[in-house]
Structure 1
């Protein structure tokens, strides 16, 4: 089967310890990219030495060295400007690909050239390799590889609260990126998320319900901050939401903008609740220390407080959900799966 050509842009900043794994996974794919661009964003560790060692194995690799740290988003734009192939994949230096990622993505895209991108599942893990979860969560629009039209995506977002796509796994149609002006620095730190929404609503997308990528979550990373700190989340998504309401308003119907706004507000509220719950736990632990030795009455007091607070936080989250999200079959299945994973972790 004839496969379209692929450019890969790998951006790195001080990830020397992860680079060998990421590069080996990239070079060992069953289908090789026709163009590999590695951008080092002014690293102060030995990243350049690691990259140089791999380039010796394949002199065709293009290496761009930023004299100072410009940020991941500048590197994305630089890589996009240098790319020449039909499709482009933006790789992370701290994550890595699983076997068959390029082959399966390109085969599906070859069957559906109208698609803006192809996306698959990520296995999220700790630095030590411990499994955390799989994103996105099931249920999916289908349990087989397929193309999802722009209209189907819009319906899924509005009626099912379902979003199958995952930016770290996306192989983009480069021509359609240019046509849609999808990657813009005006979208801020949510640059890939904005591009994803724009292209899926305009061209539709391919989806593979299979783990083909591993995302390593590290403390103090952009992903970790956005997953934990409410202020970071709002900061990241605000510029892109403004673009949806102004420059790209004709690409984002009002109902879709409202769904996206409500989803981000819900995530913000959920993070606030999680922060309050953690602060309350810290408060109780501190109170225990001040009491020194706990007697039976102390233990009963702390047990009652914990039960009351859990009910309070659970009620708050439920109220938040009912105010900002729509209950659907997919949401119910997702909640059941989360509860099952807590009881029977992988």
Structure 2
């Protein structure tokens, strides 16, 4: 697919490090998008498995696949920035080697971007699958809109004040020139680099949100974000760096640093509570004050489902991460969508089936 001028319209960038076992699925899902990407750029971060062999075989099947090999392991953020430099498209999609795009992702996001040329990017929802427990859910936990919509910068600020984690970068198609203009992804932000720059773009230019599933997000304990969060010192350093950048950047409202800090602390605590066993070091690191420490220590002693519910309940009460009414409304809306999809579906491929199963355990 090309733009009216004949130039490249869409580039899909996939950073990869040792995901040879699942890389083929991710590339196939991208190649099956209609409309498809003009080019798929895989930046291999000096993998030590069979990733390059897999990619070379895939390039024979998909001529729009381009392989960029880094001479040494540079980390995910460096791989993303290299992919941005390599991309020639007007729009860029940044995926992950172990996730699966669902049919309709590019069709929906590109349509909204063409309809709203002022928007920096368009994003939608994801189905979350825990590779270790089999638990499934959906994100964002609260929708900013219940119909496809352009959110102007003022709308973005209004929504962020109530619900902070609805921008899902794994589903976002972004205007390349705007991302280049702000300098790409900041490595100092660690696993928050993509979320930070997309928040900044949304507050400066506005963005589009589409309430439909566009991705299967497969999470596991060895993923980049969860590995980072499992280290309380590294997590707090990232938090401090992000807050300092937010406070000194005029694009962000003056109140946003406090909202972001509450949501980030809750996110770290939720992942720690969901770990098997619960991550004691992180939970206790998040418990300043005798009351908080007593509650979370008690939750750790209880362990199991009861302990996790206790920890999450306390963290929700303390950090107030999102809108309770929004959680309820989004859950009801998704339940109706799932029932309608189940009634209308007469056949689907394996990727679509995962997206239309009943959604439980929504991530908050």
Coarse TM-score class (shorter-chain normalised): 0.7 to 0.9
Partner-residue secondary structure (3-state), 2:21: coil
Distance 1:235 1:116, change over 3 A: same
Deviation at 1:179, TM superposition (A): 2.7
Cα displacement string for residues 98-146 of structure 1 (whole angstroms, at most 9, x for unaligned residues): 11111111011110111111111111113379452111113x2322211
Q: Residues 68-107 of structure 1: matches in 2 within 5 Å? A: 68-107=72-111
Structure 2 residues without counterparts, runs of 5 or longer: 281-300, 336-358
- Partners of 2:208 and 2:3 lie apart in 1 by 15
Give the structure 2 partner of residue 41 of structure 1: 45
Deviation at 1:200, TM superposition (A): 1.0
State which drifts further: 56-65 or 261-270: 261-270
Aligned residues of 1:188 and 1:240 also touching (Cα < 8 A): no
Aligned residues of 1:227 and 1:233 also touching (Cα < 8 A): yes
Distance 1:3 1:136, change over 3 A: farther
Give the structure 2 partner of residue 256 of structure 1: 256
Please report the TM-score for the alignment, with normalisation by the length of structure 2: 0.74
1:156 aligns with 2:151: no
Structure 1 residues without counterparts, runs of 5 or longer: 281-304
Aligned residues of 1:162 and 1:330 also touching (Cα < 8 A): no
Deviation at 1:40, TM superposition (A): 1.0
Cα displacement string for residues 287-318 of structure 1 (whole angstroms, at most 9, x for unaligned residues): xxxxxxxxxxxxxxxxxx959x969984x765
Deviation at 1:59, TM superposition (A): 3.3
Aligned residues of 1:182 and 1:198 also touching (Cα < 8 A): no
Q: Residues 135-146 of structure 1: matches in 2 within 5 Å? A: 135-138=139-142, 140-146=143-149
Deviation at 1:243, TM superposition (A): 1.9
State which drifts further: 6-15 or 172-181: 172-181
State which drifts further: 269-278 or 224-233: 269-278
Give the structure 1 partner of residue 245 of structure 2: 243
Q: How many residues align?
A: 312
Give the structure 1 partner of residue 296 of structure 2: none
Deviation at 1:33, TM superposition (A): 1.1
Distance 1:228 1:211, change over 3 A: farther
- Partners of 2:151 and 2:273 lie apart in 1 by 35
Partner-residue secondary structure (3-state), 1:64: strand
- Partners of 1:123 and 1:231 lie apart in 2 by 30
- Partners of 1:74 and 1:238 lie apart in 2 by 21
State which drifts further: 236-245 or 168-177: 236-245
Cα displacement string for residues 46-79 of structure 1 (whole angstroms, at most 9, x for unaligned residues): 1101100111123343211112211111111111
Give the structure 2 partner of residue 191 of structure 1: 193
Deviation at 1:272, TM superposition (A): 6.3
Aligned residues of 2:226 and 2:271 also touching (Cα < 8 A): no
Aligned residues of 1:217 and 1:223 also touching (Cα < 8 A): no
Q: 1:333 aligns with which of 317, 328, 331?
A: 328
1:108 aligns with 2:112: yes
Deviation at 1:227, TM superposition (A): 5.9
Q: Residues 217-228 of structure 1: matches in 2 within 5 Å? A: 217-225=219-227
Distance 1:206 1:3, change over 3 A: farther
CA RMSD of aligned residues (A): 3.4
- Partners of 2:266 and 2:77 lie apart in 1 by 26
- Partners of 1:64 and 1:275 lie apart in 2 by 35
Q: 2:211 aligns with which of 173, 190, 209?
A: 209
Q: 1:55 aligns with which of 46, 59, 73?
A: 59
